[in-house]
């Protein structure tokens, strides 16, 4: 049976699965509460693990699944402390002051990370939609691409790609100089700016599908910022460059043999 052709049946199936998972989760949480005397939230907050990101990810799952009824869907910077206190008071068993303080700090940090990642995604999307404007003095001063029309050079990545290329040049100088040197090589050079724009599209996609969550949750104790995102771009550019030049670590005769074959393949008829 093709589920795509059976809309009502497929929706019913999804609803039944959702209800089943919900009941199973409630039953499991009740069983663990009877065994340990602690709620799921409390078990997460006192979890001893070297991966702080796993704690934040589990807390985010609780929020997304509506397991914390006192938790608003959206909150602003500066509200984490009060939210952490309210949530622990209403969703955890009675604990001493020292443990309460430790749990509050863990929850506060995780809420800050969750909010920061969501805000970062929105900020990145706004930068992608902001097109280069030659009438904007800030854009004009920062432009580094010398096409006939810079507005068309950013390939859908808007001002974000410009900012990331500038960040690479300003804060990863040695690496940027190395990339520039390789890109200008007469034999195996590549367009540095265009490659950077393509990598911007890649890291932006990874951010939107949450593939960068655990990286930020594990490496940043507070709110992820746009600079943290730019650092990821620099890391990807470094990895890309390293892999690109693996070919040129071969023996000289092997290099020329492969390059000649590639040129013959790519040579237009």
What is the per-residue pLDDT for 135? 59
User: pTM, whole model, 2 decimals?
Assistant: 0.74
Q: Both tokens of residue 18?
A: 């959702």
C-alpha dist (Å) from residue 201 to 125, 157, 164: 11, 7, 11
Task: Reduce the DSSP state of residue 145 to 3 states and report it.
Answer: coil
Range scoring the smallest mean pLDDT among 5-9, 32-36, 110-114, 259-263: 259-263
Residues 66-102 have pLDDT tens digits of: 888 788 888 888 899 999 999 998 878 777 888 889 9
CA-based end-to-end distance of the chain: 49
User: For residue 8, what are the CA distances in angstroms to 5, 14, 18?
Assistant: 9, 10, 15
What pLDDT is attached to residue 105? 93
Residue pair 162/194 in contact (Cβ under 8 Å)? The answer is no
Whether residue 29 is predicted with pLDDT greater than 70 in this model: the reply is no
Q: How far is CA 227 from the centre of its chain?
A: 12
Give 5's DSSP letter: G
Domain boundaries, given as residue ranges, for the chain? 3-125, 134-266
pLDDT, one tens digit per residue, over 179-219 is 888 788 777 777 888 888 889 999 999 999 999 999 999 99
Q: Are 193 and 228 in contact (CB under 8 A)?
A: no
The tokens 């443990």 sit on which residue?
99
Is residue 203 within 8 A of residue 231, CB to CB? The reply is no
């Amino acid at each position: 049976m093709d589920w795509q052709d059976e809309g009502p049946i497929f929706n019913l199936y999804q609803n039944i699965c959702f209800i089943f998972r919900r009941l199973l989760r409630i039953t499991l949480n009740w069983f663990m509460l009877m065994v340990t005397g602690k709620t799921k939230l409390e078990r997460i907050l006192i979890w001893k693990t070297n991966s702080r990101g796993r704690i934040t990810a589990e807390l985010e799952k609780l929020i997304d699944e509506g397991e914390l009824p006192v938790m608003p869907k959206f909150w602003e910077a500066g509200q984490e402390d009060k939210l952490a206190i309210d949530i622990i008071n209403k969703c955890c068993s009675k604990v001493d002051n020292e443990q309460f303080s430790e749990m509050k700090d863990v929850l506060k940090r995780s809420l800050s990370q969750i909010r920061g990642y969501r805000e970062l995604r929105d900020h990145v999307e706004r930068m992608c939609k902001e097109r280069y404007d030659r009438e904007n003095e800030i854009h004009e001063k920062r432009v580094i691409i010398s096409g006939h029309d810079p507005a068309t050079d950013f390939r859908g990545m808007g001002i974000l790609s410009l900012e990331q290329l500038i960040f690479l040049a300003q804060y990863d100088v040695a690496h940027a100089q190395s990339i520039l040197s390789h890109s200008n090589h007469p034999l195996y050079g590549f367009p540095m700016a265009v490659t950077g724009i393509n990598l911007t599209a890649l890291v932006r996609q990874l951010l939107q599908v949450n593939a960068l969550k655990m990286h930020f949750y594990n490496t940043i104790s507070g709110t992820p910022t746009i600079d943290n995102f730019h650092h990821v771009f620099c890391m990807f550019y470094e990895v890309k460059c390293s892999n690109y030049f693996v070919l040129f670590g071969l023996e000289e005769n092997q290099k020329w043999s492969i390059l000649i074959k590639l040129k013959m393949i790519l040579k237009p008829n």
